[in-house]
Copies of this chain bind each other. A is one copy, B any other.
């Protein structure tokens, strides 16, 4: 009975519903607090797993973030001390099938080995406990996951389940991937922090990709502070200390359709940062972003048609949206793809010059808060340009619109600059 009460207190009955609003509060689970408690012996890895299991049992009938649970997760050892980890279901996890949110893989057998990125997190001390909902092959057709911050709203996608699992406190750490805006958007919509690793950081073996020149790894935590800790553990490097007065280029992204609440949130964040000594100047070249935003879908469609050729051959069992992407992508010629890649390479050079004397670009992580409804996952347009370049990006959260829906701020770093980016993210988080 005591255990049952305990579960209820932390579970569904424990959520606070704001009167007259659709917003519910599910507290995320701080990775740093958990690691501190584990280090101090106030809890054990087995208890952390049990807490995760109990939280999932309480909340997942509503949230639908998970597709598979490992019956007996093997406790990992390493700096993360065995904390529970969620794995997006396009990433192989030994002992569980990789179904990719697709009817085509409904009967997939259990993977026999971990993906390289899972091995890396396991070596860092994270314990994979199961697989989370992805949109169909990490494109747009959504799974059943609800947004923990507003259950009638999309959690975003494609890493829908991983974002919801962290936002609802089911796990303190979850893996995603991003080809367009599949990590940044769900982090922003669910009100949590995320890091998209630079393109090429860690191999993609064992990940069912969509567009090899665009696919990047991602990770979700409750806060940028937690991201810094996770990154340190993953890479065996010291934690980046907060950069409280960064030099930032402010990208308003107004040409990409930002709503008023998001504009105000960016404005306020930049004002607070400036008050604290940050130097914020305007991002000078919207044309560069426009060119990249245009080139990105061409590269993505071209590569997806070739990377997922097997699925293209069975397109009758795909959503019309994905089938259309693959079919139109197959009709894009090598020459057109080369031209789009050339735009990207040229833009990369120009951006490097623009940003060389700043710590990061700061801008909206999404056009606004999560749209209402579960049948679409929102617009990734705020990520296309940066993802075309393969830059590391982070989402910092903490702001809400007048309805209480989360708004995410995006930070874009330099190539190979994850550590410095996370230092900036920690600094911005405080603002």
- Give the interface of A toward B (CB within 8 A): 140, 255-257, 290, 293-294, 297-298, 301-302, 315-317, 319-321, 323-325, 327-333, 335-337, 340, 371, 373-376, 379-381
> Are A316 and B373 closer than 8 Å at their CB atoms?
no
Q: Are A323 and B336 in contact (CB under 8 A)?
A: no
The minimal Cβ–Cβ distance linking A233 to chain B, given in whole angstroms, is 35
Q: How many copies does the complex hold?
A: 2
CB-CB < 8 A to A336: which residues of B? 331-333
- Which are the 4 A-B pairs with shortest beta-carbon distances? A375-B375, A373-B375, A331-B336, A320-B379
Q: Can you give 14 A-B contacts (C-beta < 8 A)?
A: A257-B316, A257-B317, A297-B324, A302-B331, A320-B379, A320-B381, A321-B321, A324-B325, A328-B332, A331-B337, A331-B340, A333-B336, A373-B373, A373-B375
A373 nearest CB neighbor, chain B only: B375
Distance (whole angstroms) from the CB of A85 to the closest CB of chain B: 30
Minimum distance in angstroms from A225 CB to a CB of chain B: 32
Complex CA–CA separation, A389 to B171 (angstroms): 52
Bound form: Cα–Cα A289–B337 in Å: 29
Q: Which of B320, B327, B381 contacts A298 (CB 8 A)?
A: B327
Contacting A315 at CB < 8 Å: which of B294, B325, B328?
B294
Name which residue of chain B comes closest to A318, CB basis. B257
With a cutoff of 8 Å between Cβ atoms, the chain B residues found around residue A337 in the complex are: 331
Residues in B neighbouring A373, C-beta threshold 8 A: 373-375
> B376–A327 contact, CB under 8 A?
no
Q: How far is the CA of A376 from the CA of B377 in the complex (A)?
A: 11
Q: What's the minimum C-beta distance from A355 to chain B, rounded to whole angstroms?
A: 22
Query: Please, how many angstroms separate the alpha-carbon atoms of A375 and B157 in the complex?
Result: 15
Question: What residue in chain B is nearest A378 (Cβ atoms)?
Answer: B320
> Do residues B301 and A328 form an inter-chain contact, with CB atoms below 8 A?
yes
Question: Which B residues are CB-close (under 8 A) to A324?
Answer: 297, 301, 325
Give Cα A294–Cα B371 distance, bound, in whole angstroms: 32
A140 to B141 CA separation, bound complex (whole angstroms): 13
The interface residues of chain B lying within 8 Å CB-to-CB of A329 are 328
Q: Which residues of B contact A375 (CB under 8 A)?
A: 371, 373-376
Docked CA distance A319–B297 (Å): 13
Identify A328's interface contact among B255, B316, B325, B371, CB under 8 A. B325
With both beta carbons as reference points, the residue of chain B lying nearest to A375 in the complex is identified as: B375
| Cβ–Cβ < 8 Å partners of A371 in chain B | 375
Residues of the B chain whose Cβ atoms lie less than 8 Å from the Cβ of A380: 320
Enumerate chain B residues within 8 angstroms of A321, measured Cβ to Cβ: 140, 321
B255 touches A298 (CB 8 A): no
Tell me the minimal C-beta distance from A212 to chain B in angstroms. 17
